[in-house]
Structure formats: C-alpha cells, structure tokens
Structure 1
C-alpha cells in the first residue's frame, strides 16, 4: 500500500471527480505548481494507486436502460469450477461488474442490457449453460439513487 499525504488525497479526489483535468487545472485546485503536481500524478500512476482513466457513459443514451443484479450460487467450489465461471463471466460484455462474495451467494454480477427480453436471452445463451451454477437469482434496479462516487480516502 502506498502512503498518501494530504496533497495526494486532494489530487486523487479531484481526478476521481474529473479525470480530464489538465495538469494546470489540477495543480490550481490542489495548491501546487504544475511540475510538482505532474510528478505526484506520475508517481500515483506508477505505484498503481491510479489504475486507469475512463469515461462514464449514460446507459440510457447508449441504449442500455436495464440494470440487473444476478446473485449466483455454485454447485461446487473446486478451483476448476471457479476458474471456468470467472473466465466465462469476464467474456460476457453485458456483465460490467462481478464480485466474488462471502455468504449465501457466491457471486454478485451487474448486467446492463437493452431490454428484459434481451436479459432472458442472455440468461439462456450465456449464463444458464455454465454447468457450475446451482442457482441464479435476479433483481432489477428501478433507478440509481447514487452513482459511482469518489472513493472515501482516509
């Protein structure tokens, strides 16, 4: 784990809010001159604290208004079964997030899709054919009450 000081945390907060800030804008917001700010950002990237930069899209604007959360339970927890499930989940473009869980279910999978019919088709073509699953329980989100937000850095 990289040790972060107050300036690093301010840099990270600003970049989480807007990853397209120019170095000058970022430096102004965190109270540094551009050169030291750029050195800090590069260090945060090289150390792996900043993993990547990305654009956040509107699901509705790109025709993917349905969000489903599938809770998946495995029949077997062998290494082979887990490896196969994880490889197959990673290969499904509609699966945008997948988490290995502790508790009653083994995975929580976030799926974005254009329609309920498309979700049913995805289940039939991609998810149910995975032999390792004992159960698949789906919940559909009606609305987003809080979008992905900056990590609460200590």
Structure 2
C-alpha cells in the first residue's frame, strides 16, 4: 500500500490522539472532514491502523515492577516454540514478547505488582514449563523512553 503525505499526517495525528473526530482531523491536516473519514476508513480496512486503545498507567494499576526476562528454550524445534508461544498468549503479565537471534531465544517485557509476584511468575509459571530451559531476569530501574507511536512523519 502506498501512503501519501496526507495519509502520513493523518496517521501522525491519530497516534497522538486516537479519539480525534474527523472534524478535528480536518482542522489539523487541512483536509475536509469527509476526506478524512474516507482516508481513515481505508487505512483501517487495509490494517495500517490496527485498532485504538487507551494508554493506561501501569503503576496506577498496581503494576509497579517492570522486568525484562530473557528466555532460552529447552529444545530448538518448531513444536517447542509453539508450546512456548501458547504459554505466553495466556499470560497477562507479559506486555511484549520478542523472538530473537543470538544467545537468548526470547525477551519478554513483563509487569508485576512486586518482587513476590515476579518470583511466582518466574518460579511457578516460566521455569516449570517444559519448553523452557533457562530464564534470566533484569529489573527495570528507570524507563528512559516508552513507545509513543511509529515514526510516520513526512520527514522520515
């Protein structure tokens, strides 16, 4: 799909505030509300815009501990990787999961209430799973940059 300059402006504005109406968008990008509506619908239909969600403060939700967990699988085959993926799909503590090249097979971004909850997650959920061989945890001391949207500006 080819995105033009106006599509990129529209996407940039929606990333800042997904609740913008088509009238608000039209004022910000200099296009009629009906054109904004058509473009937004096309971007949604083409799955460029995958959805809209609230940005919730994890600490205010009682999830004060953020952890990066590195996981090595017990065996490296497709079935074991699928078992591990199924495990992750059912774990709300896992905010993001990445399959990697290199020494570790996966990095997980995990949020828990506290150290006791982290200990339970690692020792009672991850380590006993038959797909997992090794787990290494790193507690996040400070978040320097959080995801705030893709670089969709017209300068990129």
Question: TM-score, normalised on structure 1?
Answer: 0.96
Question: Which residue does the alignment assign to 2:20?
Answer: 21
For residues 1-150 of structure 1, the aligned pairs below 5 Å read 2-150=1-149
- Count of residue pairs brought into register by the alignment: 153
Decide whether the 8 Å contact of 1:92 with 1:126 is kept in 2: no
RMSD of aligned C-alpha atoms? 1.0
Distance in 2 between the 1:49 and 1:102 partners?
27
Distance in 2 between the 1:67 and 1:73 partners?
20
Give every structure 1 segment of 4 or more consecutive aligned residues whose post-TM-superposition deviation is greater than 4 Å: none
Distance in 2 between the 1:150 and 1:110 partners?
17
Which runs of 5 or more structure 1 residues have no equivalent in the other structure? none
Decide whether the 8 Å contact of 1:95 with 1:112 is kept in 2: yes
Distance in 2 between the 1:151 and 1:43 partners?
19
Question: TM-score, normalised on structure 2?
Answer: 0.94
Distance in 1 between the 2:136 and 2:80 partners?
19
Distance in 2 between the 1:77 and 1:29 partners?
50
